[in-house]
Amino acid sequence: MSFKKIKTSNLILTVLFAVLSAFFLLPLIWMLSAAAKTERDVWTFPIQWIPKDWNLVSNFKAVWMGDVSFGLFYMNSI
């Protein structure tokens, strides 16, 4: 059984891309987490990635069916 030798440059690139992907994915994960929180929980420090109280449905109802016509703004952006 033979094992391929791992080149140092491949290892460095793999680690670099893993760090960069985490760097770029963290804002997306934060947005998804914040969408499920109450406004007070969004501003707490230290950051809680998983909300204690889930408020996802009422947050989306407030955005899509609230006083401000978000759907109209969304269609205008498209």
Buried-exposed string 40-56: b where 16+ CB fall within 10 A, e elsewhere: eebeeeeeeeebeeebe
- Cα separation, 64 vs 50, whole angstroms: 23
pLDDT tens by residue, 32-61? 888 888 888 888 888 888 888 888 888 888
The answer, as to whether pTM is greater than 0.85, is no
pLDDT tens by residue, 21-31? 999 999 999 98
- Cα separation, 25 vs 22, whole angstroms: 5
Provide the CB-side half-sphere exposure for 25 (13 A, CA): 6
